[in-house]
Amino acid sequence: MNAATLPALIQRFFTDRLCVQMEASRHTVASYRDTFRLLLRFASTRQGKPPAKLTVEDIDADLVADFLVHGETMRGNTARSRNTRLAAVRSFFRYVALTDPTWLLHSQRILAMPSKRYVKRAVSFLDAEEMAALLAAPDRTTWTGRRDHVMLLIAIQTGLRASELVALRCGDLTLGSGAHIRCMGKGRKERCTPLRRDTAKLLVAWIGNCSDDTRPLFPSIRGEGLSRDALEHLVRKHCLTASRTCPSLAAKRVTPHTLRHSTAMDLLHHGVDQAVIALWLGHESVATTQIYIHADMRIKEKALSRVAAPALPPGRFQPDDQLLSFLDDL
């Protein structure tokens, strides 16, 4: 292999491997792109070369390890972000090893780098009172307030991901009998989520006589589709407004994904089976849905109520001898 082929390998990795062979989503391509931007700049500074002059040999396991540590210490990346960066680098060097076996040992050292373990915290979600306060926050006398109200209602009822919600078009709606929303979810899996009658009526009033199926369901003021950043901003804004009437919201960090968690917990509290919740949310495996069982204190309290306390007499505290207590305190 010519030492100057790293730029060509990276270009072919993105154009051929990711886009053509794997047909990776634009989110995956963007994530990998950001990782390699940071990696090449870091390697360029470390090796004293411009990125176009770097070779495969320059990016070894030691440099990758230092790059990951740099991301955590200097950029404030979490362990999850660190593992995402490492997954992108591994994918590239797996491609390098297949393209030219002379780099097999070099690539194996990077492929053998372990992912970092992290604390898996319980999911955060909103209860019924908090969801009601959030839905009441937008000012429905304005156009943006009506849009935000309908969007929040759809998010809480359907549990769509942020990317799925902002990508909705008018043609994705089926209203009337059997009203539902179609979306293309993670992993290119299309799914349909039913809508309540009151929600369907609200959507009919919102879209009016829209004949353009490609128009965004929740457009911006300029008529374009909302971005994920815009969605996160409006959720934070209305959460701040809702916290005035529901103080418990002030102690929570509410994001669009929190609304997705709230949907799952609401279904769980109403006795919906895990398999149905996984189908509702578009999870690949039912095991993914178990995080909501761990976070549900009601299920644990119900289980505790079925367990009898041990029939043991309560003990009584007996103070130590005064002399021994004096010696223990020395």
Task: Print the domain residue range for 275.
Answer: 128-305
Does residue 1 surpass a pLDDT of 60? no
The answer to whether 89 and 99 are in contact (CB under 8 A) is no
Q: Which of 70, 186, 215, 228 is catalytic?
A: 186
Does residue 48 surpass a pLDDT of 90? yes
Q: How far is CA 262 from the centre of its chain?
A: 14
Q: pTM of the full predicted structure?
A: 0.78
Does residue 2 surpass a pLDDT of 70? no
- Name the domain count of the chain: 2
Does any domain span residue 204? yes
Mean pLDDT of 118-131: 88
195-198: Cβ within 8 A, 24+ apart: 195/157, 195/158, 196/157
Q: CA-to-CA distance for 232 and 254, rounded, in angstroms?
A: 9
Known active-site residue 260:
yes
Q: Is there a single domain that holds both residue 197 and residue 62?
A: no
Confidence of residue 317 (pLDDT cuts 50, 70, 90): low
* Least confidently predicted of 94-98, 138-142, 212-216: 212-216
Q: Which of 147, 191, 261, 292 is catalytic?
A: 292
Q: Is there a single domain that holds both residue 86 and residue 140?
A: no
Q: Is there a single domain that holds both residue 182 and residue 262?
A: yes
Known active-site residue 283:
yes
Does any domain span residue 326? no
Please state at what angle helix 143-158 crosses helix 128-136, rounded to 10 degrees: 160
Does residue 119 surpass a pLDDT of 60? yes
Does residue 4 surpass a pLDDT of 60? no
Output the pLDDT for position 156.
95
The percent of residues in the chain predicted with pLDDT above 90, rounded, is 69
Does residue 292 surpass a pLDDT of 50? yes
Q: DSSP assignment, residue 235? A: H
CATH of the domain at 49: 1.10.150
Mean pLDDT of 75-100: 95
Order of all β-strands in the sheet with 180-184:
173-174, 180-184, 190-194
Does residue 319 surpass a pLDDT of 70? no
Does residue 221 surpass a pLDDT of 60? yes
Mean pLDDT of 310-316: 73
Output the pLDDT for position 227.
92
Residue 6 has which token pair?
């790293």
Known active-site residue 161:
yes
Does any domain span residue 219? yes
Output the pLDDT for position 179.
92
Does any domain span residue 118? no
Confidence of residue 265 (pLDDT cuts 50, 70, 90): very high
| Pairing status of strand 190-194 against strand 180-184 | antiparallel
Q: Is there a single domain that holds both residue 87 and residue 157?
A: no
Q: Which of 182, 252, 257, 269 is catalytic?
A: 257
Mean pLDDT, the chain, as a whole number?
A: 90
Q: Which of 161, 191, 238, 261 is catalytic?
A: 161
Known active-site residue 233:
no
